Chains A and B, each alone.
Chain A
């Protein structure tokens, strides 16, 4: 049976790498993002790599008016419908400190925007009795740190949302994979000081696809972040609050 994926935030490096892997499997792809002119090139690329279908659709998570069109397009797809969410934004914490109004955008991009769209698409997956949702969160969502706690809080909310959605869709035959990447070598991290153990997007994409195929629930990618985050989570709050990591 054919599987068609909606890729949200399709122009990010991680999304592109994941979409290419799906294309080489022969899946269908609907690439959603704001810059559809550039996404057309990604669609051409996906189709030449073997995608059964490769289209683009405009989405702006801060403008939910366009969500109906996406739901309508996905409903037209036959077979299994799946969704992968790669959206997100991470303005420097210092900018947010200077302008607290930025918080809203961060929360929409990383949490409420995709959550609202997923909420609309969930009944479709339930109705078909199959389908996977991949939600890309972040290790930053595991614990609030001085360096990026607004971003971390939004991702943490998204993790919790995905956990609940998994609970809901499992009983209808669907599945939800929560992905917590560490530092990944993308435009978002390019040039930021203090990055270490930066993973290539292709490696992260390979881990995500493996998790989808094995129906994993929550993954850290690369895997060593599980170790790092286990330690960070285990630090008692009285100590943690004085640290700057």
Chain B
């Protein structure tokens, strides 16, 4: 049976859609599904409505996940869009290669990483995912069509971070990165406050760096947290194999209540001694820490959550401090606050990154204050010359987003050419009026 009617959602589960879903396992099935018109979606790891098409059809690409070629000399791999980043890491790390950019979850698909032009803990050095994509094949009505920066630079650029709007991504060629071994040396350092955090991120020379911020700390302790710096290690021995646990039920609200979060964050911080802590960790353990708990999004209960992620330019660190202060003051529990440095690397018109600092915070949707807070933060980000991440967003307004993405008109021109009838339109497109200036 080709189609099923389902209720589905993004990772945040706060915004849902009801529509028909197909999940082709072979190319002819994909062609047939696309004929019914609808966007291609991946593993739905974007938080908001980027992968939703309420009232219409969507084509889940997760079963088209085959490896098509690999050159052991150059590390160039071609694979179907449904393959996950974790699977690529699992298969190629023993051969000395890994995806050059990895998002915080290994469940993201190759197609999804392209569509959102994702970044990783090495963005300041390696740039965004799309910058390592050599070619992408779109499935069109007349069959597969290869697009490279050489053959059609405009379409290629519109596809990187293009939220699937240029057509269904069938496969892609990706330049992997050589690695000396399968383990990492991770140094964790306790950071007392926000300014110290920015200084530490600026001073870090590590290839991979990520900051965990206690978003419940206020005033003098605002922005305290842990800086994690990672370097790849030599040696063939892989790290310990992880066994994922899962969250069987939607958690009751109490679990993520403010006092519980505060205690948890305090406990987390207290585990790191003043002098810092060094650990050897497996690659997946470092890159996908949350994947150890499958379906962790259920911890936020039935109503789900929103993730606010912004980036502000380098000189706007004080504005980011104000944004964090507003979050801390709001008293909405946010155990997973992440602070990172970003480089200028971006591959598409709608790519998120800019040189500066990015902050990501979860906002439980059951709190009625979440939406007003988000709107305030949105204004603060715009005023600071920053932008919001479309892969996370479910609440932003069309006007602010248009102001944050100066290349939007150039992207629209490409989309008008690639998908004039709007077959790939998603709920995100409609909500933010991204495809049309109207």
**Inter-subunit contact B67/A44 (CB<8 Å):** yes
Residues in chain B near residue A168, CB distance under 8 A = none
A187 interface residue, CB < 8 Å from B? yes
Residues in chain A near residue B23, CB distance under 8 A = 187, 190
**Inter-subunit contact B27/A38 (CB<8 Å):** yes
In the complex, per-residue mask of B1-45: 1 if CB is within 8 Å of any chain A CB, else 0: 111110000000000000000111111110000000000000000
Known A-B contacts A13-B63, A44-B69; A191 and B26 likewise in contact (beta carbons under 8 Å): no
B interface: dominant SS:
mixed
Residues in chain A near residue B67, CB distance under 8 A = 44-45, 48-49
Partner of A48, one of B3, B25, B63, B69: B69
**Inter-subunit contact A191/B3 (CB<8 Å):** yes
**Interchain pairs with CB closer than 8 A, number:** 51
**Inter-subunit contact B68/A191 (CB<8 Å):** no
Give me the 6 closest cross-chain CB pairs, A-B, nearest first.
A191-B4, A45-B66, A191-B1, A48-B67, A38-B26, A45-B67
Residues in chain A near residue B70, CB distance under 8 A = 48
B410 interface residue, CB < 8 Å from A? no
Partner of B91, one of A37, A49, A187, A191: A49
A35 to B66, CA, bound (A): 16
B80 interface residue, CB < 8 Å from A? yes
A1 interface residue, CB < 8 Å from B? no
Residues in chain B near residue A48, CB distance under 8 A = 67-70, 91
Partner of B80, one of A41, A188, A190: A41
Please, how many residues of chain B have a CB less than 8 angstroms from a CB on the other chain? 21
A200 to B345, CA, bound (A): 38
In the complex, per-residue mask of A38-75: 1 if CB is within 8 Å of any chain B CB, else 0: 10011011001100000000000000000000000000
A239 interface residue, CB < 8 Å from B? no
A41 to B24, CA, bound (A): 14
What distance in Å separates the Cβ of A4 from its nearest Cβ neighbour in chain B? Answer: 21
**Inter-subunit contact B28/A44 (CB<8 Å):** no
What distance in Å separates the Cβ of A41 from its nearest Cβ neighbour in chain B? Answer: 5
A192 interface residue, CB < 8 Å from B? yes
Residues in chain A near residue B25, CB distance under 8 A = 11-13, 16, 186-187
Residues in chain A near residue B2, CB distance under 8 A = 190-191
Residues in chain B near residue A13, CB distance under 8 A = 25, 63
Partner of A44, one of B29, B66, B91: B66
Closest-by-CB residue of A relative to B78 is: A44
Q: Which of B2, B3, B63, B66 has the most CB of A within 10 A?
A: B66
**Inter-subunit contact A44/B68 (CB<8 Å):** yes
A13 to B70, CA, bound (A): 23
Closest-by-CB residue of B relative to A186 is: B25
Closest-by-CB residue of A relative to B60 is: A190
What distance in Å separates the Cβ of A60 from its nearest Cβ neighbour in chain B? Answer: 15
A37 to B30, CA, bound (A): 14
Q: What would be 16 A-B contacts, judged by CB atoms less than 8 Å apart?
A: A11-B25, A12-B25, A35-B26, A38-B26, A38-B27, A38-B28, A41-B68, A42-B66, A45-B67, A48-B68, A48-B70, A190-B2, A190-B22, A190-B23, A191-B4, A191-B5
